[in-house]
């Protein structure tokens, strides 16, 4: 019976160590992937800025996210959206999103123009933000559509919203929107703050998870060594000790 128990415990230990070691290696691989992604994002951020024509002619715009752009066009402030519960510099307020119709084209791109504070005494009041008329130049960087926050029900159609559903917003406004957005950069403008961070890749999180899995693997090995090999031998030596002495 003890022999069967030893085999069962040994097999279970080997399987557990293999699983935890594999999970640790997987976390290290994820960390390496995200490190490469972070390097790629930073490399794109240092590339020359695209113009209207270069943006529209790009075959795969999603591969150019976080590349700088210098665009010309006209704001469409009648379609302004204030995304609520958005944070910047540790404060909660709105992200102001305005479509920009690109010059020389009917194509339109959503521009995240910056963060503005919210009036917590009147939560339905829209902040006053100046929107220049006529042709404007916008400096920024390509980004995914504004990030989604958890919401109950539909996104809604008012000027204050939790999220923008790009397909629904395209139908609502009738605008030919590109499948991305622009985060406007440059100096703060009036109440607008533009301290956009690059996306966090959480590399350290994966290193921490890898350490935990490898530590668990080491613990399992140590427990097996102690309870299945060292402790039985010590007990055997104690039993045999008096007989050897006689």
- DSSP secondary structure string for all residues of 30-95: HHHHHHHHHHHHHHHHTSPPB-HHHHHH-S-GGGGTT-EEEEEEEE-GGG-EEEEEEEETTEEEEE
pTM score over 0.85:
no
Please provide the distance, in angstroms rounded to a whole number, between the alpha carbons at the two ends of the chain: 31
pLDDT value, residue 212: 97
Q: For the residues 53-65, what does the mean pLDDT come to?
A: 92
Local confidence band at 55 (pLDDT 50, 70, 90 cut-offs): very high
pLDDT tens, position by position, 202-244: 888 999 999 999 999 999 999 999 988 888 888 888 877 655 5
Q: In angstroms, rounded to a whole number, what is the distance separating the alpha carbons of residues 162 and 118?
A: 14
Q: In angstroms, rounded to a whole number, what is the distance separating the alpha carbons of residues 98 and 141?
A: 15
Local confidence band at 195 (pLDDT 50, 70, 90 cut-offs): very high
Q: In angstroms, rounded to a whole number, what is the distance separating the alpha carbons of residues 138 and 70?
A: 6
pLDDT value, residue 179: 93
pLDDT value, residue 153: 61
pLDDT value, residue 207: 93
> Which runs of consecutive H residues, i.e. helices, occur in 59-202?
166-173
Q: For the residues 157-169, what does the mean pLDDT come to?
A: 89
pLDDT value, residue 79: 95
pLDDT value, residue 131: 92
Residue 41: pLDDT above 80?
yes
Q: For the residues 138-165, what does the mean pLDDT come to?
A: 83
At which residue do the structure tokens 């995240």 appear? 112
At which residue do the structure tokens 């140590």 appear? 222
Instruction: Count the neighbouring beta carbons within 10 Å of the beta carbon of residue 84.
Output: 17
């Amino acid at each position: 019976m003890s022999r069967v128990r030893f085999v069962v415990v040994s097999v279970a230990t080997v399987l557990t160590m293999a699983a935890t070691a594999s999970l640790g290696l997987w976390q290290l691989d994820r960390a390496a992937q995200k490190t490469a992604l972070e390097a790629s994002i930073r490399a794109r951020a240092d590339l020359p800025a695209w113009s209207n024509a270069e943006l529209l002619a790009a075959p795969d715009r999603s591969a150019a996210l976080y590349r700088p752009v210098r665009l010309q066009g006209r704001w469409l402030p009648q379609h302004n959206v204030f995304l609520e519960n958005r944070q910047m510099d540790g404060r909660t307020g709105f992200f102001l999103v305005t479509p920009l119709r690109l010059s020389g084209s009917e194509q339109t791109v959503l521009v995240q123009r910056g963060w503005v504070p919210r009036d917590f005494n009147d939560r339905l009041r829209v902040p006053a933000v100046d929107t220049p008329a006529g042709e404007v130049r916008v400096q920024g960087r390509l980004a995914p559509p504004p990030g989604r926050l958890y919401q109950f029900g539909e996104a809604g159609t008012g000027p204050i919203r939790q999220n923008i559903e790009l397909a629904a917003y395209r139908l609502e406004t009738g605008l030919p929107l590109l499948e991305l957005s622009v985060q406007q950069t440059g100096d703060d403008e009036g109440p607008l703050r533009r301290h956009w961070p690059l996306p966090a890749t959480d590399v350290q999180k994966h290193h921490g998870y890898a350490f935990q899995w490898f530590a668990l693997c080491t613990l399992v090995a140590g427990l097996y060594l102690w309870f299945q090999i060292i402790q039985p031998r010590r007990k055997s030596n104690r039993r045999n000790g008096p007989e050897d002495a006689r």
